[in-house]
Structure 1
């Protein structure tokens, strides 16, 4: 007998898939079908052979497993049997079930992840339908986590989906350390064990930073979504270590806050390098800022969903949060499934260089020691470092971009007091080369007839310094 041709094989495969679909559709429409037919008596017929036929029985566990494997056939081929088995046994916690988190959950569940916990305090609104993966008008008013769970109960009925309507409260806002620990472990740990991955899809920076710090301190794998709002260029979406992000204000603010907590790297984040476009936060009417309560306090903060959360509306192109969520899901799936070509987001040039920071810090300490010697005439006066290593790294990396504010050179960097009359703080210390520091001391910081910076430097240098200092003042709000 000749082997069947490709047309025959394709037709057989199509008929098999169609039959599977029919069974699943019919049983979905009648969830009690298997119980009904098990107890149903055979219909009487003129034909004895028909009346003697056996009733249709519910599929066995093996048959159910066969249906699941058929549904996950593409994932099974991609990851292999071993990879898919690990994925099906894995547990993932998604904090934030909105425009990013719902799409991440979508592909994690469709790809076979067996245990997913969704954490979000918010409810579905009409305005969230432009970006939410599962919500419909019928879901408006219900928790976002319930929307996702209800939808996928009919797509992956074998998966364990836990919907938790709750809020991640940062440690600084908790009543006690014990209350914070209990909250964090209840939301993140699964049956007392660490999850395989945590997805941070929170849009509040304080809660985001706190969650990331908690996961890092507990050695829990976590990936974080940065800002998708006001973005439209999907070609500029990237995944990198938190220490290597660029052109993204939320990434920078998150990185700065994490530095203060001792976290410098080791967290993959998804972000966009797209420069801000025309889309901006929608302004509030002046009348909202003028409203006051009985205690003569402004009430504009009452417009936010919760304290510390944004009041104004952030423009969002619905497809961008989806891309962020799907990218996060892809990263997690390839990691859990041990896929051969998973990219390693390794820090190639770490921003955290404590030895280099210590050396740069000593240039400022040396300058202060020379100033003290000129005033007192004494040698060997011990000068305490005005900044710690994290402050120096923040100034060099975040504010002055690893280069002299005067010449733009990147080698032999130092810190120097900028204005002689000003105190030593982050608003009066700049980055320059060692040679420039020496010249600056001779002209601006000398004791007799010192010159002003306006007399020494051209206008473009003064503007550059003022620009950096304004940036530092803005960044300091997030430290």
Structure 2
């Protein structure tokens, strides 16, 4: 046989071998693809997605984190997390159970990243529906989801992202009557993404009482600077009206002064609640409430900030679940010593006037709010003067006293006055002030009413 013929035969044999290998590879690829499709379909069905059932059935993922993470699809999907945490820590995440309450801009992003990080079981709770205006900040909702429950919307999308997760969705309002149903089952973490202060305070108090780990989101609306978002204890949060109100209510109603981590922004809100606008003259805000007591006025929201809040919450929780040890950056408030002095001055004045300081219902953080936000560092009787940089020179000559001596020294009953004005105020009555100085009386009443509204008193 000639050399040329041998070359042809060798080439033909090699081609046949390569063809056989290629065919085998294609067949294997198609087989694996079909197996994955069947696997995903079975999981979707077990998640109730084909029946519309909102309760999770038995999942393949419930076989255990070791078996689940050994699956080629799951291990590849979570490979970056496994590389970051290590297999043992990722198993802790995969075995965990997290409850997310409030599924708007913050909660949807937090829940989404918990899911993508491999959390094994999620309970998603929200009574509200997806609206068109939700789409500027919601993690997964589309126009097709408008009008559907936020909880069921997330469950639908989540079951296509990571079908191994056991997902329960409750179209429900959290309150005292639903506490046991929502918080039972020993969740490893609870995420509070609620924007209603009454419900938020109730949830946080319940978590503390039950000994559950909870992370709470404070105000994300009307802010634009992502570099000022922090995680800290509730006692350290500042420049946030919602934080102040929650802190005050928890202390006053439940005796809780701290120990709750929160995500908040050091940035002052750049806008306030928009005024209510009815489509008909006879309509009132209550006509638009989905649930009685929930606000219908809205606050302007830059969609990126709630999303970052949610991402921060998910990162904090996942690292906690995995056992990754890190320390959050401390919040430094260089002015706080000044307010502690004013707080101590108030305590001493109360003891002198009333024989006890038991009726002092504010702490140094709340004194800061009263002095800076309500009275702008000036005496209530000197509100026209612009002290500017000389604020602390003025504050060093000021003190807090009760406006109404029959009420406790709380946020909505304290005015800032000069030392020389304090004695005169203590020796008069509100009726006399109202009669002799009606403009001053009205001005102080308006300011204190603002505090009452901001703290939902």
TM-score by length of 1: 0.67
Q: CA deviation at 1:413?
A: 8.6
Q: CA deviation at 1:268?
A: 1.5
Q: Matched residues in 1 for 2:368 and 2:250: separation?
A: 14
Tell me what 2:451 maps to. Answer: 475
Do residues 328 (structure 1) and 334 (structure 2) align?
no
Q: Matched residues in 2 for 1:219 and 1:348: separation?
A: 30
Tell me what 1:187 maps to. Answer: 182
From 408, 417, 423, the equivalent of 2:392 is: 408
Q: Secondary structure at the match of 2:93?
A: helix
Say whether the 8 Å CA contact 1:198–1:221 is kept in structure 2.
yes
Q: Matched residues in 2 for 1:291 and 1:218: separation?
A: 45
**Equivalenced residues, count:** 381
Do residues 396 (structure 1) and 367 (structure 2) align?
yes
Q: Secondary structure at the match of 1:388?
A: coil
Tell me what 1:207 maps to. Answer: 199
Q: CA deviation at 1:300?
A: 2.9
More helix as a share of residues: 2
From 107, 131, 135, the equivalent of 1:125 is: 131
Q: Matched residues in 2 for 1:62 and 1:234: separation?
A: 36
Gaps of 5+ in 1: 1-17, 35-59, 172-179, 293-298, 369-382, 453-461
Farther off after superposition, 257-266 or 110-119: 257-266
From 231, 242, 247, the equivalent of 1:250 is: 242
| Match runs of 1:166-315 below 5 Å | 166-169=172-175, 171=176, 180=177, 183-190=178-185, 193=186, 195-261=187-253, 262-277=255-270, 279-285=271-277, 288=280, 290-291=281-282, 299-315=284-300
Q: Matched residues in 2 for 1:281 and 1:348: separation?
A: 27
Do residues 361 (structure 1) and 353 (structure 2) align?
no
Q: CA deviation at 1:19?
A: 11
Q: CA deviation at 1:152?
A: 1.8
Tell me what 2:49 maps to. Answer: none
Do residues 80 (structure 1) and 86 (structure 2) align?
yes
Do residues 109 (structure 1) and 115 (structure 2) align?
yes
Q: Matched residues in 2 for 1:164 and 1:187: separation?
A: 9
Say whether the 8 Å CA contact 1:198–1:222 is kept in structure 2.
yes
Say whether the 8 Å CA contact 2:36–2:73 is kept in structure 1.
no
TM-score by length of 2: 0.70
Tell me what 1:377 maps to. Answer: none
Q: Matched residues in 2 for 1:355 and 1:303: separation?
A: 46
Q: Sort the Cα spacing of 1:393 and 1:320 in 2 relative to 1 into closer, same or farther, 3 A.
A: closer
Q: CA deviation at 1:332?
A: 0.5
Q: Sort the Cα spacing of 1:231 and 1:27 in 2 relative to 1 into closer, same or farther, 3 A.
A: farther
Q: Matched residues in 1 for 2:166 and 2:147: separation?
A: 24
Say whether the 8 Å CA contact 1:241–1:347 is kept in structure 2.
no
Say whether the 8 Å CA contact 1:109–1:156 is kept in structure 2.
yes
Q: Matched residues in 1 for 2:131 and 2:343: separation?
A: 48
When the two chains are superposed, the root-mean-square deviation of aligned CA atoms in Å is 4.2
Q: Matched residues in 2 for 1:272 and 1:224: separation?
A: 13
Q: Matched residues in 2 for 1:71 and 1:283: separation?
A: 46
Q: Matched residues in 2 for 1:466 and 1:306: separation?
A: 34
CA distances 1:163-218 after superposition (whole Å, capped 9, x unpaired): 1111112x4xxxxxxxx3xx20211122xx2x111101111111111111111222
Q: Sort the Cα spacing of 1:153 and 1:429 in 2 relative to 1 into closer, same or farther, 3 A.
A: closer
Q: Sort the Cα spacing of 1:231 and 1:360 in 2 relative to 1 into closer, same or farther, 3 A.
A: closer
Say whether the 8 Å CA contact 1:86–1:336 is kept in structure 2.
yes
Say whether the 8 Å CA contact 2:99–2:191 is kept in structure 1.
yes
Tell me what 1:97 maps to. Answer: 103
Q: Matched residues in 1 for 2:205 and 2:105: separation?
A: 23
From 334, 337, 340, the equivalent of 2:322 is: 337
Q: Matched residues in 2 for 1:446 and 1:61: separation?
A: 77
From 33, 54, 74, the equivalent of 1:68 is: 74
Q: Matched residues in 2 for 1:147 and 1:196: separation?
A: 24
Q: CA deviation at 1:322?
A: 0.9
Q: Matched residues in 2 for 1:413 and 1:117: separation?
A: 51
Q: CA deviation at 1:400?
A: 2.7
Say whether the 8 Å CA contact 1:360–1:392 is kept in structure 2.
no
Say whether the 8 Å CA contact 1:102–1:325 is kept in structure 2.
yes
